[in-house]
Structure formats: structure tokens, C-alpha cells
Amino acid sequence: MRVPRDKRFSPSQLNTFVQCPRKYSFQYVERVPIERKPSPHLVFGSAIHAALDAVYALPPDQRTLAVAEDAMREAWKADKERKGAFESLEDERAWGLKGLALLARIAETDDFKQATPRALEDWASVMVEGDRELFGKVDRVDDHAEGGGVVVIDYKTGKCRIAEDGLGDELQAQVYALAVQASMKTAVREVRFVFLEAETERIWEPTELDEIEAELLRLIDKIAATTEFAPATSRLCGWCDYLDLCPAGLAEVG
């Protein structure tokens, strides 16, 4: 049975409420249509994800840099957000070259040559308290090297802003751990956010998932009980898609 829209929660939805309830209302309650400004970061990130998805779908001995490059180029060309995302052709070329250089570096890693993922770009979900659903699309799931469960991997093309031991506090990591455990019916031994450009990663070995589920449920209940979605201004208002509709945000930005 399909879960109603107001009872389904993705990590970005939860994060939006935590960041600013007013923004949450614009986006998920009122569903105000907006014209999202195209962004080079999004085109770049989508193309790199597509390249890694294509290459890791192959057996290790068939993975080559050329396959990854072709997949990146194809995704780049097909991206509807591409138009208007770049300042000029030179700007777009520079981003493209950055992507190719990143893939060249990844192609040299042992992971590229040896990993055998169990799932790629897969939806995972978990029902909480019977009728609410937490869900997310997971980049990759590997069997843990020592067995007895899996490793959930999420690729990031942006900067790493998570403290060394902070991944367990991230709502995205928490939802992924619960959702993959429920969907794949196996223990999640590690969640790993791989920051490709920064060449660093954050790793969390989830324990006490029952407690985490209870915390997420409290957040969901809070969202459901909210009738006044108050603005929470911050430096992020400057990047908010709803800024023009938000007097508090406009005052913050000045």
C-alpha cells in the first residue's frame, strides 16, 4: 500500500525542517512552485554520480577510466539543468575538466579496481510506528569486508563540513542506516560519506538504532504537530529558493 505523501520523509525534508520550518512549509506543505536557479555544482555532482554508478555496475575487470569518462560526458550532455548553469563555455569546460581529473584520480584507487557493490542507486525505506515512512536513495551498498552486514556509501562532491566523529549525528546517515537495514534485512555495520574532491571520508558504525529511530519519530511528530511554520533566519537565507517570498529572510539578507 502506498504511504500518503504527508507521511513520507526523506533526509533532505527532515533537514529542511530543522534548518527553517518556514522553508519546510514553502517546499513541502504549500508546495510553492519555484524556478530553481541552475547550478554548476549540481550538474557536476550529477555527472560524477552517473559516472560512478555506470562504472561500479561493471565487474572490476571491465572498469576503465574511458567508461567512466563516457558516462560522465553522456550525463552532462543530457542534464536539462545544464542550460544557464555556467557563466560561459569556458566556465563549463573548466568544470568538465575538473570532473575528468576527479575520475582519473578515482580510477587509480583500489576501490575502483576491486570493489564489488551489492547495490547501486537503490531506494531504501523503513516504516516507523506502522504508518510513517523514512526513505532515501542510496548511492551504493557493499558487503562488509568481515561479513555480517553491509556498508552504506554516499558520494559527496561538495566540501566536508562534518566533524571527524560527527557522521552519526547526520539525519541523512541515520535515515540511510535504518532504511537499508529494513530494506535489505541485514545489519548496517558502517555508513560512509566519501568526499571525492576533498579526498576524505566520514565513517559511522551505527549502534543503538532503536534510539535513533525513536529520535527521528519525535522529529516527525513535531513536524506533524506544527501549524505555525516560523522562519529561522540564518546566513543560509541568501541561498534560499523562497527568499523573495519571505520578509524575515529578506530582512536578514539586507
Shortest spacing between CB 174 and ligand SF4, in angstroms: 22
Shortest spacing between CB 31 and ligand SF4, in angstroms: 14
C-alpha cell at 150: 553491509
**Strands, E, within the chain: which ranges?**
8-9, 119-128, 132-143, 150-156, 188-195, 200-204
Residue 172 or 233 having the CB closest to ligand SF4: 233
Backbone angles phi, psi at 103, to 5 degrees: -65, -40
Residue 39 or 233 having the CB closest to ligand SF4: 233
Shortest spacing between CB 15 and ligand SF4, in angstroms: 12
Which of 23, 140, 156, 202: binder of ligand SF4 (CB under 6 A)?
23
Footprint on residues 231-250 left by ligand SF4 (CB under 6 A): 231-233, 236-237, 240, 242-243, 246, 248-249
Shortest spacing between CB 253 and ligand SF4, in angstroms: 8
Residue 47 or 232 having the CB closest to ligand SF4: 232
Task: Compute CA 13 distance to the chain's CA centroid, rounded to the nearest angstrom.
Answer: 11
Residue 167 or 237 having the CB closest to ligand SF4: 237
- CB contact at 8 A, 78 and 106: no
What's the half-sphere exposure (Cβ side, CA atoms, 13 Å) at 141?
A: 24
Footprint on residues 3-22 left by ligand SF4 (CB under 6 A): 20, 22
Residue 64 or 234 having the CB closest to ligand SF4: 234
Please count the residues of this chain forming the interface with ligand SF4, following the rule CB under 6 A: 15
Shortest spacing between CB 85 and ligand SF4, in angstroms: 22
Rg over CA atoms, the chain: 20
247 vs 104: CA distance, rounded Å: 46
- CB contact at 8 A, 171 and 216: yes
Residues that bind ligand SF4 (CB under 6 A): 20, 22-23, 26, 231-233, 236-237, 240, 242-243, 246, 248-249
